Structure 1
Amino acid sequence: MRWLADPDPVVASAGWSLTTTRVATAPEGLDLPGLLDTIEAQMAAAPDRLQWAMNHCLAQIGIEHPELRARALDIGERLQVLADYPTSPGCTSPFAPIWIAEIVRRRETA
């Protein structure tokens, strides 16, 4: 978890990417509410690469953990990170609230 706070945004983004994988595959031992606290406090001002990795983790928490979905959606809505990201037709936006809703919808209809 020290990687998440590394002053080098490349190292920190790698840490967030690894954490995102754990959120989806092996969340035991992760402090998911604590991760959301960090995302909420730091993502909006993070450098682009780090912001992208944190946003992915936010979306993955919202997708994989229904008990935290409302909070993940709220954080995404308030921070508006990637809300204006250009998205090709037929692709899912990286804006966390849209991303979470779409993946959850797909899983529910599968």
Structure 2
Amino acid sequence: MADITEALAELAALEDPKMRAANEKRGDDHGINLSRMRALAKRIKTDQLLAQQLWATHETSAQLLALLICRPKDFTADELDAMLRETQVPKVNDWFVNYVAKKTPLAEELRVRWFDDADPTVAAAAWSLTTVRVMKEPDGLDLSHLLDLIERDMRDAPQRPQWAMNETLANIGIFHPEHRARALAIGEQLQVLADYPTAPGCTSPYAPSWIGEIVRRREG
């Protein structure tokens, strides 16, 4: 097991002012190259106690390292709920949802618990977990009802849940041909992310374009 003091010293040694300036433009208040962060996590290996200590510092770089070395199945639902509500920094939120919330055996319990939460960060996590169900375990999901909710709420939703709902919309259209026409129609009607700048060779996040491109690749 690594020592919390040693781990924080190693993180401090990785701090780069130029990297911090670049990250802060995206709302991420740390200055560490993420490849170097991952290399440090690989050296430490899984360490749940250290992860909890790092998380408790409330420092972005320490919390990112915590998410890389923690054991998702060792957290209780209440611990995960409290952690999610702290993830205002974009990269911390992204890593928490993808590396912890999606990996815990409590994912479905948390998806249901978080679905109607008034906190946009929490609601967004619920939609991200819903997307996993849409793609991998759709049995028991009412896809028509999800489309109803997206049609009603996505246009005016805050940014995080809007992105997550849009991801659910696109993946319903991609993975469930019987709902594809309606998913495309909702995307065209709402025009969410229609003007999002997309680099050449990348898939647009605008749902009709996203659905069309991935379906073409899968079926072409």
TM-score (norm 2): 0.49
**Which residue matches 1:5?**
116
1:44-59 correspondence runs (5 A): 44-59=155-170
**Which residue matches 2:200?**
89
User: Offset of 1:4 from its aligned partner?
Assistant: 2.1
Amino acid in the other structure paired with 1:66: P
**Which residue matches 1:76?**
187
Amino acid in the other structure paired with 1:80: Q
Whole-Å separation in 2 of the counterparts to 1:104 and 1:96: 12
**Which residue matches 1:102?**
213
Structure 1 runs (4+) greater than 3 angstroms displaced: none
Whole-Å separation in 1 of the counterparts to 2:141 and 2:114: 14
Query: Relative contact order (alpha carbons < 8 A, sep ≥ 6): 1 or 2 greater?
Result: 1
Residue among 3, 9, 25 paired with 2:136? 25
Q: Percent identity over the alignment?
A: 70
From the CA coordinates, give the structure whose radius of gyration is larger.
2
2:172 aligned with 1:61: yes
